[in-house]
Amino acid sequence: MSTDPYDGFPPGFFDRDDATPDTIFYGPPRLVTHIDDRAIAAVGALYTELGVTGRALDLMSSWVSHFENPPAELVVLGMNAAELEANPVATERVVHDLNADPHIPLPDADVDAVVCCVSIDYLTRPVEVLAEAARVLRPGGVVAITFSNRCFPTKAVHGWLATSDEQHGGLVAELLRRAGGFTEPDVQLRTPPGRGDPLWAVTARRA
């Protein structure tokens, strides 16, 4: 039986057009939002619905975390120190490149929730990162991965670009299954059909 967490994916699925270190691409601060207001509202509503109130980790974070009601403690982990410093609801900031090192520098069972907004498509080792998310989550804690139809195409992995918006939810759910430690993922389209950016969410609980 294969021990490769990516067994079955086509060769090059998690490669990218721009393979230069991410520290170069993400060096300049980008104090902008990457989805429209309706999709942002859907992210915040999801976090409220899931009851993210205690200590949370925002993976691949930036200057805004989209909470309607911020948790008591929010660890923001991202690539750009200036962006993280500008995040008004952060209580702890960690500059860390998950593609260079998928280890999350937090203790076991440290947080009640892990969220990742419109960034899962940039991970070249997503199974290892999500396994780390399971490690730092407390039992029963929630993981919430949201995404839309926008990306930096040179930094998104080839497999994401080669699959449809509707297939991305199944892909993220499979990555969570391969990471282990989670309940069966739930995939939802969180915005009604129509104009504007769609917002999908994949959620699961720490088993």
CATH number, position 186: 3.40.50.150
Of 27 and 190, the structure prediction assigns the larger pLDDT to 190
Domain count, the chain: 1
pLDDT at 2: 67
Whether residue 16 is predicted with pLDDT greater than 70 in this model: the reply is yes
Name the strand (E) or helix (H) holding 24: helix 22-25
Residue 186's pLDDT is 98
Specify the pTM: 0.95
Starting at the edge strand found earlier in the chain, the sheet holding 111-117 runs: 92-95, 73-78, 55-59, 111-117, 137-147, 200-205, 186-189
pLDDT at res. 24: 86
At 140-199, the pLDDT tens digits run 999 999 999 888 899 999 999 999 988 999 999 999 999 999 999 999 999 988 789 999
Element holding 73 (H helix, E strand):
strand 73-78
Would you say residue 1 has pLDDT above 70?
Answer: no
Better-predicted residue by pLDDT, 99 or 26? 99
Is pLDDT of 32 > 70?
A: no
Query: Is residue 6 included in any domain, yes or no?
Result: no
Nearest one of 146, 152, 172, 194 to 41, comparing CA atoms: 146
Does 35 score more than 70 pLDDT?
A: yes
pLDDT of residue 202: 98
pLDDT single digits (tens) 52-68: 999 999 999 999 999 99
Residues in the chain: 207
The domain of 85 spans: 22-205
CA 151 to chain centre: 13
- Answer whether residue 56 is part of any domain: yes
Asked, for residue 161, whether it belongs to a domain, the answer is: yes
Query: Where do runs of H (alpha helix) occur along 51-195?
Result: 81-85, 126-136, 158-162, 165-179
pLDDT of 104 above 80 = yes
What average pLDDT does this structure show over 72-91?
97
Evaluate whether residue 15 is within a structural domain: no
- How many Cβ atoms are within 10 Å of 158's Cβ, its own excluded? 15
Neighbours of 145 (CB within 10 A): 28
Q: Is the pLDDT of residue 47 over 90?
A: yes
Averaged pLDDT score across all residues of the chain: 94
β-pair type (55-59, 73-78): parallel
In the chain, what percentage of residues exceed pLDDT 90?
A: 86
Q: Is residue 13 part of a domain?
A: no
User: Which segment of 41-55, 87-101, 189-203 scores lowest on mean pLDDT?
Assistant: 189-203
pLDDT at 158: 98
Report if residue 55 sits inside a domain: yes
DSSP letter assigned to residue 109: T
Is 4 inside a domain boundary? no
User: Could you tell me which of 4, 9, 3, 52 has the C-alpha nearest to residue 170?
Assistant: 9
Task: Determine the pLDDT at residue 31.
Answer: 59
Residue 8 lies in a domain: no
d(CA 149, CA 199): 8
